[in-house]
Amino acid sequence: MGILSWIIVGAIAGMLANLIMGSGGFGLIGSILLGILGALVGGWLFNSILGLPYNVTGINLISVLVATGGAVVVLFIVGLLRR
C-alpha cells in the first residue's frame, strides 16, 4: 500500500473515529495521523488478538473499517489517559 493510500485511509478512518467517539479538535493532520495509527493498531488487533484475516490492504471498505476500529481503540485509550 502506497503512502497516498495510507493518507486517504487514515483521513477517512480518523474522521469516522472522531465522529464515533464524539471527540474532535485534532484537525485534518491529526485525523490522518490518528487514522494511520488506527490502521496499525486495528490490523494488529484483528490479526493477532482476534485471529481474523482482515488487514489494511488498500483503499477499500475492509481497510477503512479495520483502521476505524483501531482508531476508536486509540481514542478510547487516550481518553483514559487524559483523566
Please state the domain count of the chain: 1
Q: What is the pLDDT of residue 1?
A: 66
Residue span of the structural domain in which 33 resides: 3-82
- What is the reported pLDDT for 10? 87
The number of beta carbons lying within 10 Å of the beta carbon of residue 83 is 4
Per-residue pLDDT of the chain (83 residues; tens, 9 = 90+): 678 888 888 889 989 998 998 877 778 888 888 888 988 888 888 888 888 777 777 888 988 998 899 999 998 988 888 87
Report, in this order, helix, strand and coil percent for the chain, each rounded to 5: 75, 0, 25
The pTM of this model reads: 0.86
Q: What's the pLDDT at 73?
A: 92
